[in-house]
Structure 1
Amino acid sequence: MLEILLPALVAGLAIAVTHAPLGLEVLRRGIIFIDLAIAQIAGLGLVVMELYWPGAAGWMLQAVALGCALGASLLFHWTERRLPAQQEALIGSSFVLAASLALLLLADHPHGGEAIQHLLSGQLLFVGWNELGLALPVYGLVLLAWFARPRWRGGMGFYLLFALAVTASVQLAGVYVVFASLILPALAAAAWPGRALAVAWTSAAVAILAGLMAALWYDWPAGPVLVVSYALVALLATVPRWRRTRPAPSARAR
Structure 2
Amino acid sequence: MSELFDWRIVGPPLLAGLLVLSTHVLLGREVLRRGIIFIDLAIAQIAVLGVIVAQLLGWPEGGWQTQAAALAAALMGALLLHGFERFWPRQQEALIGISFVLAASGALLLSAGSPHGAEHLQELLSGQLLWVGWRQLQWIAGLYVLILLAWNLLGYQGRRFYLLFALAVTASVQVVGVYLVFASLIIPALAIRHLPRKQGLVAGYVIGGMAYAGGLLLSSWYDWPAGPVVVWLLGVVALCAGWLATAVGMAATGRD
TM-score if structure 2 supplies the norm length? Answer: 0.91
Deviates more, 1:40-49 or 1:211-220: 211-220
Pick the aligned partner of 2:44 from 39, 45, 64: 39
Distance 1:236 1:191, change over 3 A: farther
- Residue matched to 2:187: 184
1:123–1:223 CA contact under 8 A, matched in 2? yes
Aligned residue in 1 for 2:172: 169
SS of the aligned residue for 1:192 comes to coil
- In the alignment, the residues of structure 1 paired with residue 186 and residue 62 of structure 2 have an alpha-carbon distance, to the nearest angstrom, of 31
Q: Please name the residue that 1:234 is paired with.
A: 238
Distance (whole Å) between structure 2 residues aligned to residue 203 and residue 2 of structure 1: 21
Work out the number of aligned pairs and report it.
245
Q: Report deviation, 1:57.
A: 5.6
Q: Within the alignment, does 1:137 sit opposite 2:142 as a pair? A: yes
List gaps (5 residues or longer) in structure 2: 1-5
* Percent identical residues: 55
Question: 1:58 Cα shift?
Answer: 1.9
SS in 2 for 1:98: helix
What is the rounded CA distance, in whole Å, between the counterparts of 1:61 and 1:10 in structure 2? 23
C-alpha root-mean-square deviation of aligned residues, in Å? Answer: 1.7
Structure 1: give runs of 5+ residues left out of the alignment.
249-254
Identify which of 68, 72, 92 aligns with 2:77: 72
SS of the aligned residue for 2:113 comes to: coil
Aligned to 1:103: 108
Query: Aligned partners of 2:60, 2:66: CA distance in 1, in Å?
Result: 10
Q: Is the 8 A contact 1:191 1:238 kept in 2?
A: no
Q: 1:28 to 1:196 in 2, by over 3 A?
A: same
What amino acid is aligned across from residue 159 of structure 1 in structure 2?
Y
Report the CA distance between 1:190 and its aligned residue.
2.0
Residues 113-139 of structure 1: per-residue CA shift (max 9 Å, x gap): 211110100010000122212211111
Q: Tell whether 2:201 aligns with 1:197.
A: yes
Shift of 1:214: 1.1
Report if aligned partners of 1:58, 1:131 keep a CA contact under 8 Å in 2: no
For residues 153-176 of structure 1, what are the alpha-carbon distances to aligned partners after superposition, in whole Å with 9 as ceiling and x for unaligned? 111111111011000000111000
Amino acid at match of 2:207: S
Answer whether contact 2:59 2:66 (CA < 8 A) is retained.
no
